[in-house]
């Protein structure tokens, strides 16, 4: 079976975007649709619905699909993720899917195991291995902390090269629509490493109101997240990220955005100014 290098606006094939209502997925879906490429959203709220925990929903979502963007919520490091990715890839191949783009994480052995499943699938593939998102502070787990004026986390002074989700989405869209991306692993970061205290300072400057970073013991943080009513998988993920991934292993920059798009990645300060111009952080004291 031959596999196309990329899709053009004239192609009839449909791209299934898993997590199509999430941070990366909705941007990728919009980017593909803007290029005239048919998209099917893969989410529990979509029609047909897609649920990682119910493989009976996968059949309809994969019908007449030629390519798929794979993002696994909440994280590829979750127990059972490798089994789910293997099962999905097998099912996708059975349905004639020819092209896969996987969102992966840096410094996560479990995520790299999922990458190998995609790489060994026999299908055309691209891996996007991403650092932590800028948008965690405006669309994700930390937005309420920013609104409250206090980022309370057990992060210490370990720097992270946060990356903009818009850059990730643009890399994925390029992988689907342009030649030259098959078989590539793009490790994407922003242009600078920032500690969480430095993030707070950047946000303070952009918003015009003081945002503090407060270091808390890890166990107290996990107890607080659990007490807030966060889903079990979110508690697990945050526990894992702050005990395992944020230990300095990812404290270096990469040029994946430059490789894929031919331009440098977006800087955190530009992101912060843009979001500050909206109502996202309006509750900041």
Q: How far apart are CA 251 and CA 155, in angstroms?
A: 13
Q: pLDDT (tens digit, 9 = 90+) per residue, 229-259?
A: 988 888 998 899 898 889 999 999 999 999 9
Using pLDDT thresholds of 50, 70 and 90, give the confidence band for residue 283: confident
Q: pLDDT (tens digit, 9 = 90+) per residue, 109-146?
A: 999 999 999 999 999 999 999 999 999 999 988 999 99
Q: Which CATH number fits domain 14-133+163-190+251-266: 3.30.1360.120, 3.40.50.720, 2.40.220.10, 3.40.720.10?
A: 3.40.50.720
- Return the CA Rg of the chain: 19
Torsion over CA: 232, 233, 239, 243 (sign): positive
Listed in sequence order, the residues at least 6 apart from 27 whose beta carbon sits closer than 8 Å to its beta carbon are 165, 166, 168, 169
Q: Output the pLDDT for position 7.
A: 59
The pTM assigned to this predicted structure is 0.94
Q: Do 142 and 241 touch, CB atoms closer than 8 A? A: no
- The residue assigned the tokens 């963007």 is 69
Closest CA to 241 of 118, 74, 70, 83: 74
- The residue assigned the tokens 């370990």 is 158
Q: How far apart are CA 88 and CA 70, in angstroms?
A: 9
As given in the structure block, the two tokens for residue 235 are 């508690």
As given in the structure block, the two tokens for residue 163 are 């990356």
Residue 1 has pLDDT above 50, yes or no: no
**Domain boundaries of the chain, sorted by first residue:** 14-133+163-190+251-266
């Amino acid at each position: 079976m031959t596999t196309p290098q990329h899709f053009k606006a004239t192609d009839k094939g449909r791209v299934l975007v898993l997590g199509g209502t999430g941070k990366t997925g909705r941007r990728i879906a919009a980017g593909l649709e803007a290029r005239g490429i048919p998209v099917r959203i893969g989410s529990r709220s979509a029609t047909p619905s897609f649920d990682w925990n119910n493989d009976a929903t996968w059949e309809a979502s994969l019908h007449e699909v030629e390519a798929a963007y794979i993002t696994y919520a909440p994280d590829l490091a979750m127990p059972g993720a490798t089994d789910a990715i293997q099962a999905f890839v097998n099912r996708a191949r059975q349905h004639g899917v020819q092209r896969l783009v996987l969102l992966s994480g840096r410094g996560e052995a479990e995520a790299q195991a999922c990458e190998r499943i995609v790489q060994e699938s026999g299908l055309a593939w691209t891996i996007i291995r991403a650092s932590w998102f800028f948008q965690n502070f405006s669309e994700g787990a930390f937005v309420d902390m920013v609104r409250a004026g206090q980022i309370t986390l057990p992060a210490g002074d370990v720097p992270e090269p946060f990356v903009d989700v818009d850059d990730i989405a643009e890399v994925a869209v390029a992988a689907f629509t342009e030649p030259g991306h098959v078989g590539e692993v793009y490790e994407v970061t922003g242009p600078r490493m920032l500690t969480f205290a430095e993030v707070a300072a950047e946000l303070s400057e952009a918003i015009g109101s003081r945002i503090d970073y407060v270091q808390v013991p890890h166990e107290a943080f996990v107890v607080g997240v659990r007490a807030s009513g966060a889903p079990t998988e979110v508690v697990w993920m945050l526990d894992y990220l702050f005990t395992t991934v944020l230990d300095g292993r990812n404290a270096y920059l990469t040029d994946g955005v430059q490789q894929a798009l031919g331009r440098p990645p977006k800087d955190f300060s530009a992101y912060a100014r843009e979001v500050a111009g909206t109502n996202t952080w309006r509750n900041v004291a």
